[in-house]
Chain A
């Protein structure tokens, strides 16, 4: 474990060796009620033990779980209101859906010919346009599909200026998109096979929303670090969760999180080699708490949740959690929600001198997918 350098971190995490997944002394239901406001709902893609795919809405106050079966495995859910949500098909699905949990209605929409969805999307500030990350596999290029939210009809598309655009988010100015080009070439004929690992070139690209013009592009020194998931702060800082495509048995990545201050370079956060090894080269999701200046990431391969400080630009600690898959900010101050593909939902508290994971709910035989969206 690396030494902590700030008072903040010492205060919060001095007892690292003792950290583990704590069982709560309160009943899970009681904790759940305390953890969330009355109307909070959690959205995610899920699979059951039979391999069927769903979009799920978990009402955190009543604990009522609603699930609608979907024709594809989804990746990210985007809640539009208390009843309606979008779920975007995971690479290499050509289908995404809009669902209404009140009516049970499911409406599919497709990518254009020779394109597939890559699992992520964002809305324009006025919530009239939907931007989806897609791949034009016939021409080996990344695409940002643009659809009217009301009709879901595609009205335009932009190039992403890289292969394999994955996560994309709207910057706080409302005029700029930031796109994580993972850099990996795939083709549906070859299922999910990665075809260009030797030559992959991931990039973080900023696009002008109104024209699609490339405003800036950033790369990391190691081309095997796939830039995949993003978290944009209200100030316009960007956190990047990475996935290493090299052979982990021979070489570990130098880090798995990058951070870009407004107007600054894209820099890797520091982590010791023995610490990065436990993450198994793969971060599935990332979230930022600006108050604590902490990034928290789920690492299903490393069976842990990792915490990073943007104040010190370094890794802080990892908490063991089997198959941690997705993460969102919690409703309580200094809290996060973490799900696992073993069906559990945890609350992560980082306010005390120990970061603490407490199980809130367990859904047997259900697997949470890699992203959570909390609609409070």
Chain B
């Protein structure tokens, strides 16, 4: 057995490539504290229409297909339809994960993000619903709270690891299967409704007014990108891999989406979304233009290169839960660890400083 190697103290040069190869901007720069009230309408327009809206449109389309797949499956419960349903669920999950660096504004209003993907699902609440004698409605699921809604609740009922696909199919076909199917369809339908709300908020004509000025866009995009990368490194990799565990134990149940095997795919989706917003949305180019210096030019080019390379990397082969449980390591996993950490440091130590974004250890979410 090859155990994970803790890379924290000894990150290779590759890991620090982005963080340290550049001119180190002085933190004195970040002491320019007055908020700029300028608004670059062209930049904001590009950001919204080319960076943000396509991600939500893809998500809406995926959720629509998921609802349809749920209906098809319940109309004809079969292994083939389960496979299609699982694929539709996976497509929706990845589309959602591509918006992970956009958790501000409409996404967090009324906790829509938690209604779309609350992890971990509340198993007892779901079991309580499934014990119902009446078919479940979207209202009943909504009333049960976020722990029984959204993508992770669907994963719970669609990817039971102790059952074979045949057994799982049978569970939807038995006497209690009607209730199970009603839950599946209600959750899918509610998910679609919530995603539609979000997409509508971002695609309405005045969506560009969400950003009051350039500074708000800079603070939000860099701050949320940093938080997304921090989640990847701490919650999606370091914690489950047990890299900081004193007893060197891994924690496979801490992997996000461990039931379905999407744990590493969602990380790639997070980066793809970040790349889309920062590159297609014109954010990196805008930073380059508005904070002109050699350090900015170098940092922006390096960051874009890292993003482009990261979305191309080969993910570790095999089931993530098994890999983590058995503490197998691989070149692919180490590269994923190193590159995502490098990207996080790049945001924190380079982009945030150069673009004068509000970011820091103590002020990230206040106390």
Q: Which residues of A contact B (CB under 8 A)?
A: 47, 50-52, 75, 90-91, 119, 189-190, 192-193, 195, 243, 247-250, 274, 277-280, 282, 284, 300-304, 320-323, 325, 341-342, 367, 369-370
Could you say which of B8, B31, B213 has the most chain A C-beta atoms within 10 Å of its C-beta?
B31
B363/A282 in contact, CB under 8 A: yes
8 tightest Cβ-Cβ pairs between the two chains A and B: A249-B212, A341-B361, A278-B33, A249-B216, A320-B31, A322-B27, A303-B31, A367-B361
Could you say which of B28, B213, B216, B363 has the most chain A C-beta atoms within 10 Å of its C-beta?
B363
In the complex, which residue of chain A has the Cβ closest to the Cβ of B9? A50
B215/A47 in contact, CB under 8 A: no
- B30 on the interface (CB 8 Å rule)? yes
Which listed residue, A91, A278, A367, A370, touches B34 by the CB 8 Å rule? A278
A301/B27 in contact, CB under 8 A: no
B362/A249 in contact, CB under 8 A: no
A301/B360 in contact, CB under 8 A: yes
Chain A residues contacting B42 (CB-CB under 8 Å) are none
In the complex, which residue of chain A has the Cβ closest to the Cβ of B365? A192
B358/A280 in contact, CB under 8 A: yes
Besides A280-B35, A303-B30, 14 new A-B residue pairs in contact (Cβ under 8 A), listed by A number: A119-B367, A189-B147, A190-B111, A195-B111, A249-B35, A249-B215, A277-B35, A284-B363, A301-B358, A304-B31, A320-B28, A322-B31, A341-B360, A369-B362
- B146 on the interface (CB 8 Å rule)? yes
Interface residues on B, range: 20 to 34
CB distance from B184 to the nearest CB of A (A): 23
Query: Are A301 and B363 CB-contacts (below 8 A) given A193-B108, A322-B30, A323-B27?
Result: yes
Query: Are A47 and B34 CB-contacts (below 8 A) given A193-B108, A322-B28?
Result: no
A323/B360 in contact, CB under 8 A: yes
Q: Which residues of B contact A (CB under 8 A)?
A: 8, 27-28, 30-31, 33-35, 108, 111, 114, 118, 146-147, 212-213, 215-216, 234, 238, 244, 358, 360-363, 365-367
CB distance from B137 to the nearest CB of A (A): 23
CA distance A278 to B34 in the complex (A): 5
A193/B111 in contact, CB under 8 A: yes
Chain A residues contacting B238 (CB-CB under 8 Å) are 51
A280/B33 in contact, CB under 8 A: yes
Per DSSP, chain B at the interface is loop
Which listed residue, B35, B114, B212, B362, touches A370 by the CB 8 Å rule? B362
B358/A90 in contact, CB under 8 A: no
Query: Are A341 and B108 CB-contacts (below 8 A) given A247-B212, A304-B33, A320-B31?
Result: no
CA distance A325 to B358 in the complex (A): 14
Chain B residues contacting A323 (CB-CB under 8 Å) are 27, 30, 360-363
CB distance from B218 to the nearest CB of A (A): 11
CA distance A35 to B367 in the complex (A): 29
Which listed residue, A91, A190, A274, A367, touches B114 by the CB 8 Å rule? A190
Chain A residues contacting B362 (CB-CB under 8 Å) are 284, 300, 323, 325, 341, 367, 369-370
CB distance from B115 to the nearest CB of A (A): 11
Chain A residues contacting B35 (CB-CB under 8 Å) are 248-249, 277, 280
CB distance from B367 to the nearest CB of A (A): 6
CB distance from A364 to the nearest CB of B (A): 13
In the complex, which residue of chain A has the Cβ closest to the Cβ of B147? A189
B33/A303 in contact, CB under 8 A: yes
CB distance from A182 to the nearest CB of B (A): 10
Chain B residues contacting A325 (CB-CB under 8 Å) are 361-362
Which listed residue, A90, A189, A320, A321, touches B367 by the CB 8 Å rule? A90
Chain B residues contacting A119 (CB-CB under 8 Å) are 367
Chain A residues contacting B28 (CB-CB under 8 Å) are 320, 322
CA distance A370 to B361 in the complex (A): 10
In the complex, which residue of chain A has the Cβ closest to the Cβ of B103? A193
CA distance A250 to B39 in the complex (A): 12
CB distance from B272 to the nearest CB of A (A): 24
Interchain Cβ contacts under 8 Å between A and B, 11 examples: A189-B146, A192-B365, A249-B35, A274-B34, A277-B35, A279-B33, A280-B358, A280-B363, A320-B28, A321-B31, A323-B363
In the complex, which residue of chain A has the Cβ closest to the Cβ of B6? A50
CA distance A324 to B50 in the complex (A): 37
A277/B34 in contact, CB under 8 A: yes
CA distance A300 to B358 in the complex (A): 9
Query: Are A47 and B361 CB-contacts (below 8 A) given A190-B111, A249-B213?
Result: yes
Chain B residues contacting A321 (CB-CB under 8 Å) are 31
CA distance A249 to B215 in the complex (A): 8
CA distance A342 to B367 in the complex (A): 17
CA distance A280 to B30 in the complex (A): 13
Chain B residues contacting A301 (CB-CB under 8 Å) are 358, 360, 363
In the complex, which residue of chain B has the Cβ closest to the Cβ of A285? B362
In the complex, which residue of chain A has the Cβ closest to the Cβ of B146? A189
Chain A residues contacting B212 (CB-CB under 8 Å) are 247, 249-250
Chain A residues contacting B8 (CB-CB under 8 Å) are 50
A282/B366 in contact, CB under 8 A: yes
In the complex, which residue of chain A has the Cβ closest to the Cβ of B145? A189
CB distance from B156 to the nearest CB of A (A): 16
CA distance A243 to B366 in the complex (A): 9
CA distance A119 to B234 in the complex (A): 22
